[in-house]
Amino acid sequence: MCGFAGILTTHAQRRDALACGACRMIGPIAHRGPDDRGVWADADAGIALGFRRLAILDLSPQGHQPMSSPSARYVAVFNGEVYNFAALRRELEGYGYRFRGRSDTEVVLAAFEQWGVGAAVAKFAGMFAIAVWDAERRELSLIRDRVGKKPLYVYSEPGLVTFGSELKALAAGPSFDRTIDRAALASYFRYLYVPAPRSIFTRTVKVPAGHILTIADAAQPLPAPRPFWSLAEAARAGLADPIRSPDEAIERLEAVVADAVRSRMVSDVPVGALLSGGIDSSTVVAMMQESSRGAVRTYTIGFDSSAFDETSQAARVAAYLGTDHTELRVDGAAAQAFVPRLATVFDEPFADPSQLPTCAVSQLARRDVAVALCGDGGDELFGGYNRYVYGAPLLPWLERVPAGVRRWLAAGVGRLPAGRAGRFGGRLHKVGTLMSAGSAAEMYRSLLSAWQRPETIVSGVTGDGDPTHRILNGGGPMRLLDRMMLADQMMYLPDDLLAKVDRASMSVSLEVRAPLLDHRVVELSWRLPPALKLRGRTGKWALRQLLYRRVPRSLVDRPKMGFSVPIDNWLRGPLRQWAGDLLAPDRLAEGGLLHAAPIRRAWDDLQSGRRQAGAALWAVVMFQAWKERWI
């Protein structure tokens, strides 16, 4: 796991000036690669690449980047891991290639020479962001892995393109426009993250997951990226070819997940695991322990609120599996000490409250290991969220209720005095919004929304150009549940969950690997019949069968808790002063971006206990803290 940045320009510069520009860009992302750094530049082509290395495979200088291919046609910087590099290496050796070291980067470059960039990337199994310069074609290709585990931002203005692993690298580039994209800001307030391909800045985009962006002329507008793999296509193909036999489905799932776990344990540095005690992480840890000669190191974070604390569950699973387990409890005071750092760690506005425990558990694990496996992806792939369990059957039923009746009910909920609603006010408000939605797909989007109408708090925007809405209402899978899961996999998974884990873990130089998001697991999950995902009110049925073979059911079957924090209580308690200062009317009005009145009403409702608006307000607080840090 590493970080990189680079420049492509039509402005004439000497090589040392280009190299210095790339060197300045990798300075702010040194945390992504504390073990080594390197810069390469070609003044005639106007290209420079900078790299920070976290040494995981081949700790020798043979893994130094930027790295050239055997013929020197390709020069690349590579962040991530290609887990099938050993098999690709053997295949390439059959073509006559000889390798100096043991890194996957060297295999990646040889693959580019043998098959070309597009065909080679299609062979890679792993998580990666790659920038590769083709000296023969004089073009730059920027590549992002299939599900978007690794980040890749691109900034452009006439005559200049810069790119990098984090926005802070682009901000350190030779030029950077900090104009905020108001539609992106509205999407952020709805979902707590900025959906790709937008970024918070108007001139900066994210390379979409599973795409290659090839740039030949920095003087021209950015071309459209092209896909080398499509999640939507994988979903359609899987739904058209289901595995009919439940026994066969479970056996195939076990084989591919076990292989994904084993391949992610390959490392030249210590490996551990993040264990919550839930289905997903417990399955991963159980399979790790089967493949390990010693006790796997596992790490868990707990909280001072029992409704959010999973330490006891994780400890029971760890004891049964025989792992070397470490846990840490975090209270409001610890959160108060850490929150000022969040705007630096997350250099794009981000407000999933689980960012706090993710940062804490990453810091805990990094004391002992440089690589940690996690259970990310299980909920999205196998139907684990309560919104699937309850929403999939409920929303179509609500849709059949006449629109007039639903609007009448919604109006009645809206007229309920806040004082009488009490602590259920936030839930009733969401029910009212749900009732007023025009379709089941719109109802689902309302379940995902922190601010139901973000255009009411963002100045100068009439809508958010919401890509999730397009997926839910587009010509995709027929079943609502499938559209819900596809939307989450295409948007929430890469732009929230994976972005959170990447920034939190890499801020402390920890590489986190997610076996359940191996693209073979993703493709197979779409071939599972609905009954292998949801059975009654039980989600992740197929994944549970793998864990039942390894852990007693008494340790598995429990209500889903989720990985979050008591943000409402903290905003009323230890974080109240800090958050209240950021939400002062004069500070909200700075820059002319936000309407203060609805935000202040929500803050007053939270403080009085009339409404549980913690997630919505956390989004505003995080944006305010981000704006003060970066704008």
Q: First CA to last CA across the chain, in angstroms?
A: 29
pLDDT at 376: 97
Share of the chain above pLDDT 90, in %: 74
Burial (CB < 10 A; 0-12, 13-18, 19+), residue 106, is buried
CB count in 10 Å sphere of residue 284: 28
The alpha carbon of 187 is separated from its chain's Cα centroid by a whole number of angstroms, namely 16
3-class SS at 40? strand
What is the pLDDT confidence band of residue 563, given thresholds at 50, 70 and 90? low
- pLDDT for the residue numbered 419: 47
CA dihedral 64, 67, 69, 71 (to 10 degrees): -100
Mean pLDDT of the chain: 91
User: Using 50, 70 and 90 to split pLDDT, how confident is the model at 418?
Assistant: very low
Burial (0-12, 13-18, 19+ Cβ within 10 Å), 546: buried
CA neighbours within 13 Å on the CB side: how many for 194? 26
- pLDDT for the residue 423: 47
Confidence at residue 61, expressed as pLDDT on a 0 to 100 scale: 87
What fold characterizes domain 2-229? Glutamine Phosphoribosylpyrophosphate, subunit 1, domain 1 (3.60.20)
Q: Which two tokens stand for residue 4?
A: 């990189």
Residue among 340, 277, 328 at smallest CA distance from 303: 328
User: Mean pLDDT across the stretch 364-388?
Assistant: 95
C-alpha separations of 87 from 77, 215, 447 in Å: 21, 30, 44
β-pairing, 211-215 vs 139-144, is antiparallel
pLDDT tens column, 438-481: 677 778 888 889 998 999 999 998 765 677 777 887 766 778 88
Output DSSP code: residue 538. B
Cα separation of 8 and 15, whole Å? 12
Band (pLDDT 50/70/90 cuts) for residue 412 is low
pLDDT of res. 155: 98
> pLDDT confidence of 594, banded at 50, 70, 90?
very high
Is 416 a residue whose pLDDT tops 90?
Answer: no
The single-letter code of the amino acid at 8 is L
Question: pTM here?
Answer: 0.94
Q: CA 601, CA 588: separation in Å to the nearest integer?
A: 13
Q: Check residue 422 and give its pLDDT.
A: 47
What's the CATH superfamily of 232-385+491-555?
HUPs (3.40.50.620)
* Residue-level pLDDT at 611: 78
Q: At residue 498, does pLDDT exceed 50?
A: yes
pLDDT tens, residue by residue, 3-54: 999 999 999 999 999 999 999 999 999 999 999 999 999 999 999 999 999 9
Looking at residue 137, its pLDDT comes to 97
pLDDT band per the 50, 70, 90 thresholds, residue 543: very high
Q: 16-20, 38-42, 222-226, 537-541: which range is least confident on average?
A: 537-541
CB 354 within 8 A of CB 379: no
Q: How far apart are CA 526 and CA 234, in angstroms?
A: 7
Q: Which of 172-186, 221-235, 404-418, 563-577 has the lowest mean pLDDT?
A: 404-418
Q: Tens digits of per-residue pLDDT, 184-211?
A: 999 999 999 999 999 999 999 999 999 9
CB distance 65 to 101 below 8 Å: no
Reported confidence tier of residue 316, pLDDT bands at 50, 70, 90:
very high
Give me the residue spans of the domains in the chain.
Answer: 2-229, 232-385+491-555
Instruction: Give the pLDDT of residue 432.
Output: 66
